[in-house]
Every structure is written in structure tokens, then in C-alpha cells.
Amino acid sequence: MTLRALYVDSNSYFASVEQQLRPELRGRPVGVLAVLTDTTCCIAASTEAKRFGIKTGTSVRDARKLCREIVFVESRPVVYVQMHHKLVAAVESCIHVEQVRSIDEMWCRLRGRDVQREGAVQLAHEIKQAIYQAAGSVMHCSIGIGPNRFLAKTASNMQKPNGLVVIEQADLPQALFTLELRALTGIGSSMAARLEACGITSVQQLCNASAATLRKAWSGVAGARFHAMLHGDDIAETPTQRSTVGHSHVLAPELRHRDAAYAVLHRLLQKAAMRLRSLDCISARLCVKVTLKNRHHKVVCWDDDVALDPTSDTRALLAAFDVLWQRYPPQASARGWEPMAVGVTLVNLSEARNQSLSLFSSSQTQHQLDAAIDALNLRYGKNALYFGGAAAALQAAPMRIAFTHVPDLALESDRENMRPDLAKK
């Protein structure tokens, strides 16, 4: 039976990159932190650390309790992006990459001899060897092969680390019965609760359910699509439109006060505005969030938002932010609450080309000013020219990597952290 998709999932990616580049970390439990402080949590864990129960989200304190030998390292997003491009190039040397799904995942459409099991398995081994040769012996990946992308991804999660699993049409649905519902892409806690309300608490029950039942559980056609993919149909992916652009940052201990939080948010918003323009989009709403913590380790969040005349103009966005910041509780610090993390999000996005410009406004002048600032920062570095509110946080909030966003190094990189040996040839 025809196989159509091959999914590559790098194992413990951030930690593996650190172990590859720092041989002294190999074979040791490693936790990757956004900031080297005891009050944060792991954003990644090595395979060795995972054996102790340490995973993404495990606090530093808990990780030390679980494994006294754990080594913590500060994340280096630029290096991870550089390594990502090496991995994509390695896979491309074997087969065309249909789509990059995240910093550590990609999938390929199988054709020709590779649609049969023997050819697909041989290709998977070739990909693994190409990655080792290009990136190093520590850069393991799990590869899943299946009738569609969804099942190939599912297969890639079934054997880690360094796995290779093939799910053929003839294996369905029994091959999935040992999995937990939450192991399937698209089923989170809320979806699991909705399935339970429909009497579905296991993958076997899910596979045996009708398309109509899943359509009801998903409240729409997405349920019917999930049913088809679950049973091996090769369904075209529904086109999606970006709806948000945002940045967040866990504050270093010395920045956990009101003024520093303001400066970091200012810098994050300037970065978000530049990204917004690079996407040729405008935003109609700005959201700001501050996570606060007291000495009793109680956590609360302050968040607020404001409607905008659709814009990508940095000055307009910063003016809206200043309005929001006036609402930040002034008594927070006096009551023992200190900001731990901050974030800005631009939502309600639309294409800039659809914006109607006023003949009597300064929009064109502002657009030209933003374009000039962007060009200077692209050429000379991110801090070549900036608005003064971020002056106290120029070295804060370095580039981070979201689950589904691979940063553009030209737009977002901290150039001082670039690794020449990892740069694309």
C-alpha cells in the first residue's frame, strides 16, 4: 500500500545542539534555560535528563531534586536556528522538504520508489546518515513514515530517541491503539474533554467512532477531516492566515522591577513592529501581559489591551503601549509583587496592502521612517537605531524560538551570538 509522507523530528533538539557543540556535555543530563536563574524552568531537556522525569516546564528547583547531577545551560537561539538550516539542507540532499513545521520538525512527500516500504525505510536511513555527516553524531532524529503527514508525525513520536516507525494502511487502526489520546496531534486537554463528553476516552474508541461523531466533537468539518486523516486519507492542509505577532521574555533577576519591565516591553514591541512590517501586515489591537510573583511564590498576571487604527507604525504602537502602561498597578512593587515575565502581542492582523491611506495624514512619512529604521538595523545590527524607551533593555530579550516559528536571523538575530562554523554555506 502506498506511503505518502515522511516526518523528521529531531530529538531533544536544543539540548542535543548544546551537546554536539560542547562535547563535555555529552552523556550528561542537561537542562536548557532561557535565563540562568533558580526561579525559572527548563525550556528543553536532554535525553539523559528526561530519564529522570525532567521535561519542558520543569522548574530548576524540581529538576535538581529529580537529578542532582543535572547541568544547566543558557539557551542560544541563534545557534539553534543555524543548526536548523544545516539539518534542512541535509534532508534536502536526500529528498525535497515539503514543509518545515518548526525549528526541529519537517516533513517530505514520498514519490517514486519511496512510496513502498523498502524504499521509504532506505530513504530514512539515508536521511539519518546525511544529518550525522552535516551536523554531527549527537544530532539524532526520529523518523515516522505513513499514508499521510498526520500519521507520519504520529509514527515519529512512537519511538524515541533515534526511532524509525512505519505505519502502513494495513496496520490501521490497530497500530494506534496503544497510544494515549493526548499523544495525537490536535488533541489537547480541552479537546480530550470534548471527546470524553462524546463517550470517547481511548484511541481505540476514537478510531471506531464515525465521522459524524467526530464532526460533532469538533463542532464542525475539522472533525470529519480528523476522521479521514486518522484512517489514512491524504487530506490537503487547510490554508491558514497569520493572526498574531508577538514576543515574550522571562526577566533576569536584575530586571525585575517596574522601570526595567517597561523598557523590555518597549524593546519587544519595537521588534514585533519590525516583524509585522516584514510580513506586510497591520494590526488592529495591542495586548500587553506582565506575570508577577511575590516572596511566597504566588503568581498573578496583569494584562490589558487596546484597539488600534490598523497600523504597523512603530511610533503609533509605542504611543498605544504608553496608554496601556498607565494602567499597570503602581502599588504592585510596594505590595511585594515583582514582574517575572513580560510579553506583547499584536492581534487582529490584516494585509497592509488593503489599508486605505488618508490624503491628509502623515502615514506615508511614518512608513518611510519605519522603512529607513528597518534598513539600518538590518545592515548594522538590531540596536543601530531604536526608540529611547528601550535604552535600559538593549541587551535584554534576545531572540527566542516559538514552537512553530523559526526566526529569520536577518530580522531577529543577536549577531554577537552567531557561530561562523554553523553558518549556511
Q: Output the nine-digit C-alpha cell for 364.
A: 506615508
* Amino acid present at 237: E
Could you tell me what percent of the chain has a pLDDT over 90? 72
Q: Is residue 1 very low, low, confident or very high in pLDDT (cuts 50, 70, 90)?
A: low
- How long a stretch of residues is the chain? 425
Check: CB of residue 343 under 8 Å from CB of residue 248: yes
Check: CB of residue 127 under 8 Å from CB of residue 8: yes
Q: Output the nine-digit C-alpha cell for 113.
A: 520508489
**How much is the average pLDDT of 56-80?**
96
How far is residue 174's CA from residue 152's CA, in Å, rounded to a whole number? 15
SS3 34: coil
CATH number of 244-394: 3.30.1490.100
CA 306 and chain centroid, separation:
26
Query: Would you give the DSSP letter of residue 56?
Result: T
CB atoms within 10 A of CB 301: 11
Residue pLDDT, tens place only, 268-312: 999 999 999 999 999 999 999 999 998 888 989 999 999 999 999
Please tell me if the domain spanning 1-171 has the same topology as the one spanning 244-394: no
Going from N- to C-terminal start, the domains of the chain cover 1-171, 173-231, 244-394
**How much is the average pLDDT of 184-210?**
95
Q: Is residue 420 very low, low, confident or very high in pLDDT (cuts 50, 70, 90)?
A: low
- Smallest Cα–Cα separation from 373: which of 326, 317, 416, 325? 317
Query: 77-92 and 13-21 helices cross at what angle (nearest 10)?
Result: 90
Q: Is residue 388 very low, low, confident or very high in pLDDT (cuts 50, 70, 90)?
A: confident
CA 425 and chain centroid, separation:
25
- Smallest Cα–Cα separation from 354: which of 246, 243, 280? 280
Is the predicted pLDDT of residue 213 greater than 60, yes or no? Answer: yes
Q: 1-171, what's its fold? A: Alpha-Beta Plaits (3.30.70)
First to last CA, the chain: 39
**How much is the average pLDDT of 184-209?**
95
Residue pLDDT, tens place only, 92-129: 999 999 999 999 999 999 999 999 999 999 999 999 99
Q: What is the pLDDT of residue 425?
A: 44
**How much is the average pLDDT of 227-231?**
96
Beta-ladder partners of 143 = 8, 164
* pTM, two decimal places: 0.78
Mean pLDDT of the chain: 90
- Smallest Cα–Cα separation from 14: which of 95, 102, 110, 97? 102
How far is residue 316's CA from residue 408's CA, in Å, rounded to a whole number? 24
How far is residue 31's CA from residue 43's CA, in Å, rounded to a whole number? 8
Residue pLDDT, tens place only, 158-172: 999 999 999 999 999
Could you tell me what percent of the chain has a pLDDT over 70? 90
**How much is the average pLDDT of 135-142?**
98
Check: CB of residue 105 under 8 Å from CB of residue 9: yes
Cis, peptide link before residue 23, omega less than 30° from 0: no
Residue pLDDT, tens place only, 395-411: 776 666 665 667 666 66
Nearest-5° Cα angle at 312, 310 to 315: 105
Is the predicted pLDDT of residue 362 greater than 70, yes or no? Answer: no
